[in-house]
Amino acid sequence: MNKPIHKAFRSVTFLASIAIMALGLNVAHAKNIKKQNLLELMTHSDSILIGTVSKKSDGFQQGLPYTEITLDVGQSVKGAHGSSYTFRQFGLIEPKPTGDGRVNLMVTPAGWPTYTLGEQVMLFLHKPASETGFQTTAGLTQGKFTIRGNNIANDINNDSLFAGVKINGNLSTSQQDLITQAAGSYKTAEFFTLVKTAVEENWIENGVMTHED
């Protein structure tokens, strides 16, 4: 292998590992993320937002590549947010010149969420990393739900989203149908209502939403 290329590859790998660890994730976890149910996504989320992607750009922060996403917030289900929310996620939109004749190849890692201008989303966001401020969704692509009309689904089509979850409370017939659905798109309004109620009534803290025995 050509030495300059080999050296550049090692540098990219090293910086990517550092960035992932700065996000509070280790490399193995990032590559082999397990399926997370709704209880786990909610537990690991610092913010839950519903809105439309209005801006997207990329750049470097102290040498680390990022994509910056701005969301026009329709509803803030968890966390106090205004009408707009901006966060930075590790990785570039596409390879980018660094200004010194080189090209940085560290795009958004495979298996991490990507964003399209104008798409409507519901995001379960981790707390920003203490060192970098970078932020991504709980469960990576599992914590990004895309809204298409009356339907909503994450990148794995809601697979196992209610697996192992027990709700010790009264649910409407439509909500009961929702949690017994193994996979596939949910009705947007029903999913919104269930998550919002769970947050507002502290279902997890009060033992209403628990893991099955």
Q: Which two tokens stand for residue 135?
A: 């932020």
Q: Are 138 and 45 in contact (CB under 8 A)?
A: yes
Mean confidence (pLDDT) of the chain: 86
Give the pLDDT score at 112: 95
Q: What is the mean pLDDT of residues 137-151?
A: 96
H helix runs in the chain, sequence order? 3-22, 27-31, 38-43, 173-179, 188-200
Query: How many Cα neighbours within 13 Å face the side chain of 41?
Result: 30
Give the pLDDT score at 93: 94
Local structure of 3: helix, strand or coil: helix
Q: What is the mean pLDDT of residues 183-204?
A: 94
Give the pLDDT score at 32: 59
Higher pLDDT, 150 or 20: 150
The H or E element containing residue 175 is helix 173-179
Give the pLDDT score at 213: 76
Question: Which of 143, 144, 156, 211 lies closest to 183 in space, CA to CA?
Answer: 156
Q: What is the mean pLDDT of residues 65-76?
A: 96
Weakest mean pLDDT among 50-59, 132-141, 169-178:
169-178
Q: What is the mean pLDDT of residues 28-56?
A: 87
The four Cα atoms 17, 18, 24, 26 give a dihedral, to 10 degrees, of 30
Q: Is the pLDDT of residue 139 over 70?
A: yes
Distance CA 81, CA 107 (A): 28
Q: Which two tokens stand for residue 57?
A: 């750009």
Place of tokens 């399926």: 35
Give the pLDDT score at 134: 96
